[in-house]
Structure 1
Amino acid sequence: MQSFFNGLSGMLSFSKGIDVLSQNIANMNTPGYKGNNAIFRDFSGGEGGIGSSVVGTELQRQAGDYQDTGNATTLAIDGEGYFVLQDSDGKNFYTRAGQFTFNDNLELVDSTGNYNVMALDDAGNLAKVSFSDLKIMAPEATTQVQLSGQLASSDTNHTVSDIKIFDESGKSHTISIEFTNQNNNTWQAEIFLSDSTSAGTHQVQFNLDGSPLDGANVINQDFTFNGSTQTIEFSLGEGSSFANAIQVASGTSNLGATVEDGSATSGYTSIEFDELGQIKVTYSNGEEQSGQRIAIASFNDISKLTHAGNGLYQATSSQMEMGVAGEGVNGKILAGKLELSNVELTEQFAQLLIAQQGYSASSRVMNVANQLLDTLYNNTGGR
């Protein structure tokens, strides 16, 4: 009788194993899908045992192949971490399928379930990934202009023109500086606005060796634009240094100006993520700003993760550590790539054949046991 039930348990076990294999094969094209292995266990009892059973499944840890998408918000993880998603009720899910996009609120969401992709702030708390604060680069007033090149003491004057500065509203203004030789290594510097109005007159001086004289190497000029006053520093460079502006005895004056800061209001032109999962925003003025870093969850035992559909997993009793890319086993972020399923079809077919043979063999055991019972019944029934 026990052989009959052993064969039955084998058929049930292999049937459940085929269920797991069929689920893997059905999801071989599902991005980020982790295949499962059926866990078989024997039942002990008596000398011959009392059959087998499938007690659960375990996730296959290895990563799937990576596919280029050409989409900067599609992300993959080269490591063992998982992206953290959150639904409208604040419930967390975990996924390897980084099919993300920015919604109308400029929040990064999962394109299949519209769940928010989470970032990790400096305090270690989860926050929605958003670039709403980075959509526009605020205007910045110019505060520093660096003068470089040479003034020839043999020249009477030299004009540095087309210096573009910005006021606090981001509006640009073009100014010029006219240098007039006062002899004795001294030059008068008069600053003119675009309408040729003088904004101020100053003096700069050089040492005998031609380097800027400390204390006479910087011009501080106040400008008033739209009723607001801003101060801009025009520097010849450090005193006694030859790194920027110098005076030469003869030759041609070629002193020029480089505006070190200031910008107009600028909109973003591109958004991308670096290997650490940090938002990088580029603006129309060529400037860049960095934003949040995407949260990465790692698990010491991924077998405790359960499928929640749509390529998502839920954590049960598994211990979880929240961090960011570049830490521990979390790995790095691959922008513009999508992780495919890790299901290997050849392996699944091989296991399917084994399960089929096991099922057939278990069925054969039941058949033989049944024949033995029939023989026993017939022999005893004839008495």
Structure 2
Amino acid sequence: MLQSLFNGLSGMLSFSKGIEVISQNISNMNTPGYKAKNALYQEVLGSQYGAGSDVAGTAMQQQNGDFQDAGSPTTLAIDGSGFFILRGENGENYYTRAGQFQLNEEYMLVDSATGKYEVMALSEAGVLEAFSFEGNRVRPPVATSEVQLAGNISSDEGEHRIDDLYIYDIAGESHRISIELINDDAGSWTVNVLDENESNIGSGSVAFDTDGSPLEGSSSAAIEIPFAGGQTVEFNLGEPGSFENATQFVSGATNLGATVTDGGAASGYISLNFDNDGVLNIEYGNGEEEEGARIALANFNDVTKLSQSGSFYQAGPDVRMIIGNANEGVNGKVLGGKLELSNTELTEQFAQLLVSQQGYTASSRVMNVANQLIETLYSSTGGR
């Protein structure tokens, strides 16, 4: 009879712990990345008829929460399996599904809540390193290396001039130049480069074959131009034997022009976005694009063994972990500009709450009945 009393008590304690788990889930229904938990009830063995029940622990629900537009390109979510990896101030690793990240003053990607925990990237060598944007925030200047000529020039022309071209030196400074082509007869042309003061700053020669296409070995002129630091610019007619760019036809009108194919000043970034592979894509003000670092993800053989440290998880030495790239293997894909919400389902939690309430009430009724029976036993014994 006494065991019935203790069984009822253990039931009340177990359901009480279960209600604590449910209340934790409900209180975190608006916490980004939160994973709801289920209480793990177990039978306590003792006598032949058992010794009640207990809560052995909790199990994390693994399904994704809903995804919400965050309005920030550095806020990330994981569609599928995996955790973001954060490194604390003492070098310890933390894991989270809440990708509320931002760039700090040192252009390191950090957790917004703490402002200190660094988000980890995975290098090409497969080594974890802090995700840094410092080396990508400004696109360095690029010196012009090629000017492509295109169109026709008649062999009857004595000379031809192309004005108002802008090329860049190694410091990113822009210079206005003109190209002067002088007919040397037999398909050969001298190429003079003139600066904005009409001074000749470099010369070379190009030639056409008898069929009017660029001549093999003379289809371009590499001209040294004495800008700051000096540079060589190739003035190119096109592929030898090809008619796609510059040509020389006697019967054709002269309409030869030129395009500067590369070069530019230093330029800052204007937009960032992460692709599904977790790679940062950067667009600069000069129209160029570049890839930055790549987010690292961690996967665990048993997430129930993770311990919580505030809003983050930590893995003990007995937890097997795989670190890799997003959208590879078992890892899910990264969603840039999205935030994963809590996966707490209120309908499910309220249903479990009602069941736990009924279980708690029934256990208390068992204690009450057991107590009445014991009192009856004592009363009948005392009355003899």
TM-score scaled to structure 1, two decimals? 0.96
**1:4 partner SS:** helix
Q: Distance in 2 between matches of 1:187 and 1:360?
A: 101
Q: Structure 1 residues 105 and 203, CA, compared in 2 at 3 Å: closer, same or farther?
A: closer
Question: In the alignment, residue 381 of structure 2 is paired with which amino acid?
Answer: T
Residue number in structure 2 paired with 1:267? 268
Q: How many residues align?
A: 381
1:189 aligns with 2:188: no
Deviation for aligned residue 1:149? 1.9
Q: Distance in 2 between matches of 1:21 and 1:106?
A: 40
**2:196 partner SS:** coil
- Deviation per CA, 1:60-81: give whole Å up to 9, x if none: 1011000001111111111111
The worse-fitting range, judged by mean Cα deviation, of 230-239 and 187-196 is 187-196
1:138 aligns with 2:119: no
Residue number in structure 1 paired with 2:221? 219
**2:264 partner SS:** coil
Deviation for aligned residue 1:382? 0.8
Report if aligned partners of 1:69, 1:336 keep a CA contact under 8 Å in 2: yes
Q: Distance in 2 between matches of 1:46 and 1:268?
A: 72
Q: Distance in 2 between matches of 1:203 and 1:308?
A: 72
The worse-fitting range, judged by mean Cα deviation, of 98-107 and 237-246 is 237-246
Matches within 5 A, 1:21-170: 21-114=22-115, 115-170=117-172
- Deviation per CA, 1:15-48: give whole Å up to 9, x if none: 0000000000000000000111100111233432
Deviation for aligned residue 1:252? 2.1
- Deviation per CA, 1:242-293: give whole Å up to 9, x if none: 2321122323222222222221121222222222112222222111222211
The worse-fitting range, judged by mean Cα deviation, of 311-320 and 103-112 is 311-320
Q: Distance in 2 between matches of 1:277 and 1:96?
A: 14
Question: In the alignment, residue 204 of structure 2 is paired with which amino acid?
Answer: H
Deviation for aligned residue 1:101? 0.8
Q: Distance in 2 between matches of 1:189 and 1:106?
A: 47
- Deviation per CA, 1:172-193: give whole Å up to 9, x if none: 1111112233443233322211
- Deviation per CA, 1:89-144: give whole Å up to 9, x if none: 11111111111111111111111112111111122222111111112221121112
1:280 aligns with 2:259: no
Report if aligned partners of 2:202, 2:225 keep a CA contact under 8 Å in 1: no
Report if aligned partners of 1:154, 1:250 keep a CA contact under 8 Å in 2: no
Question: Once the two structures are aligned, what percentage of the paired residues are identical?
Answer: 55
Q: Distance in 1 between matches of 2:125 and 2:204?
A: 50
Residue number in structure 2 paired with 1:365? 366
Deviation for aligned residue 1:87? 1.3
1:3 aligns with 2:8: no
Q: Distance in 2 between matches of 1:193 and 1:105?
A: 42
Report if aligned partners of 1:154, 1:251 keep a CA contact under 8 Å in 2: no
The worse-fitting range, judged by mean Cα deviation, of 52-61 and 321-330 is 321-330
**1:56 partner SS:** strand
Matches within 5 A, 1:304-319: 304-309=305-310, 311-316=311-316, 317-319=318-320
**2:378 partner SS:** helix
- Deviation per CA, 1:315-367: give whole Å up to 9, x if none: 12321111121211211111111000000011000000000000111111111
Q: Distance in 2 between matches of 1:106 and 1:66?
A: 26
**1:270 partner SS:** strand
The worse-fitting range, judged by mean Cα deviation, of 66-75 and 176-185 is 176-185
The worse-fitting range, judged by mean Cα deviation, of 111-120 and 279-288 is 279-288
Residue number in structure 2 paired with 1:14? 15
Question: In the alignment, residue 313 of structure 1 is paired with which amino acid?
Answer: Y
Deviation for aligned residue 1:151? 1.4
Report if aligned partners of 1:222, 1:230 keep a CA contact under 8 Å in 2: yes
Residue number in structure 1 paired with 2:210? 208
Q: Distance in 2 between matches of 1:192 and 1:224?
A: 12
Gaps of 5+ in 1: none
Q: Distance in 1 between matches of 2:303 and 2:150?
A: 61
Question: In the alignment, residue 365 of structure 1 is paired with which amino acid?
Answer: V
Gaps of 5+ in 2: none
Report if aligned partners of 2:150, 2:258 keep a CA contact under 8 Å in 1: yes
Deviation for aligned residue 1:155? 3.6
**1:2 partner SS:** helix
Q: Distance in 1 between matches of 2:194 and 2:268?
A: 31
Q: Distance in 2 between matches of 1:258 and 1:326?
A: 40
Question: In the alignment, residue 4 of structure 2 is paired with which amino acid?
Answer: S
Report if aligned partners of 1:204, 1:218 keep a CA contact under 8 Å in 2: yes
Report if aligned partners of 2:201, 2:226 keep a CA contact under 8 Å in 1: no
